[in-house]
Amino acid sequence: MAYTVAKLAKLSGVSVRTLHWYDRLGLLKPAWHGTNGYRFYEEKELLLLQQILFFRELGFELKKIQKILGKSEFDQLAALTSHRTVLQKNLVRTKKLIETIDNTVKHLKGIKKMKDKEFYYGFSKEKQKEYEKQILDRFGEKGKAHMEECRQRVKDWTESNWEESKKAFAEICQELAEQMNRKLKADSQEVQETIRKHYQWLKQFWTPNRESYSGHGQFIVQSDLRKAYEAYHSEMPEFLSVAINRFAQSELD
C-alpha cells in the first residue's frame, strides 16, 4: 500500500513539514512521485521512518542518523535489537527518576527527609555530556567558546533569574505558535519581530552573529533542542529555522 505524505503524517504523527524537510535532506525520500507531483511512500519508507524516529528518540542528531542509515552494511534487525537494549536501560533510568520525584515530593511535604545526593538520583551525566558533544561536533571551537561564554554569564544567576528567562522563552514560543496557527509566513514582519525577541533572549547566554544565529536555527531542527519548541507546536523547529535564517541574513553582521 502506498501512502501520500499527508496520510503518512497522520499515520506516524510526524508533521507534513517535517517529512518534506527529511526529503530535502535526503534522509527519507518517497518511493515515487505521482503525475501530480505528490510524494508516495511504501513499506520500505515506513520502516525507514520508524528507524529515524527510534534514533531521534534516543537523542541522535539528524546528520548522525543519515550517516548511520546510509551505510551499505546497515542491518535493520540488528538496529532494532540495539534499540530495544537501549530503551530497556532507559526504562530503568526512568523508573529511578520517578522514584526521585516521589521522594522529593515527600521531602518537600516533610514526610521523608532526603540526603543531598539523593536529589540527583537517576540523572544521567552521560546525557548532559552528549548534549555538549552535539554542540562541539557541529560547531567545533566556536561552539566550545559559546558554551564557556554561557557558563560565565549564568554562573551567578539566582532561581529568580532562571524563572524569568523561562517565562520569556515560553512567551516567545506561544507567540510563534499563535502566528503559525494563523498561517503567517516565516518572513512576515510580525514573525520577524518575534524572532527579534528570540534573538534578544538568546543574547542573555551568548552573542550570536549572522553565521552562528543561522547555524543555531539549524541546530534546533537537528538536535534534541527541538523538543523544547515542539512542546508549543509540532512544526515549530523547522518554521523557526527558516525564520531565524531570514532574520540573520537581513539584520545581523
CATH 1.10.1660.10 intervals, the chain: 3-69
Inform me whether the pLDDT recorded for 105 exceeds 70: yes
140 CB-near residues (< 8 Å, 6+ apart): none
More confident residue, 97 or 20: 20
As separate numbers, helices (DSSP H) first and strands (DSSP E) second, the chain gives 11, 3
Distance (Å, whole) CA 212 – CA 60: 21
219 CB-near residues (< 8 Å, 6+ apart): 134, 135, 138, 139, 225
Q: Give pLDDT, residue 179.
A: 95
Percent of the chain with pLDDT over 90: 33
By the 10 Å C-beta count (0-12 exposed, 13-18 middle, 19+ buried), 253 is classed as exposed
Inform me whether the pLDDT recorded for 24 exceeds 60: yes
pLDDT digits (tens, 9 = 90+) for 135-182: 556 566 665 666 677 778 878 888 788 888 889 999 999 999 999 999
Q: Tell me the HSE value of 46 on the side-chain side, using a 13 A CA sphere.
A: 14
Average pLDDT over residues 200-204: 92
Q: Tell me the HSE value of 150 on the side-chain side, using a 13 A CA sphere.
A: 14
Q: Give pLDDT, residue 137.
A: 63
Decide if 205 contacts 212 (C-beta within 8 A): no
- pLDDT bin (cut points 50, 70, 90) of residue 217 is very high
**CA geometry: angle 137, 153, 203, nearest 5 deg:** 75
Inform me whether the pLDDT recorded for 115 exceeds 70: no
Distance (Å, whole) CA 217 – CA 240: 7
- pLDDT bin (cut points 50, 70, 90) of residue 109 is confident
pLDDT digits (tens, 9 = 90+) for 41-55: 999 999 999 999 888
- pLDDT bin (cut points 50, 70, 90) of residue 114 is low
Q: Give pLDDT, residue 122.
A: 47
More confident residue, 129 or 201: 201
Q: Give pLDDT, residue 195.
A: 96
Nearest to 1 by CA among 28, 39, 30, 41: 41
Inform me whether the pLDDT recorded for 120 exceeds 50: no
Average pLDDT over residues 205-229: 86
Decide if 209 contacts 44 (C-beta within 8 A): no
pTM summary value: 0.51
More confident residue, 235 or 123: 235
* Architecture of the 3-69 domain: Orthogonal Bundle (1.10)
Q: Give pLDDT, residue 118.
A: 53
pLDDT digits (tens, 9 = 90+) for 53-72: 888 877 777 888 888 888 88
More confident residue, 86 or 235: 235
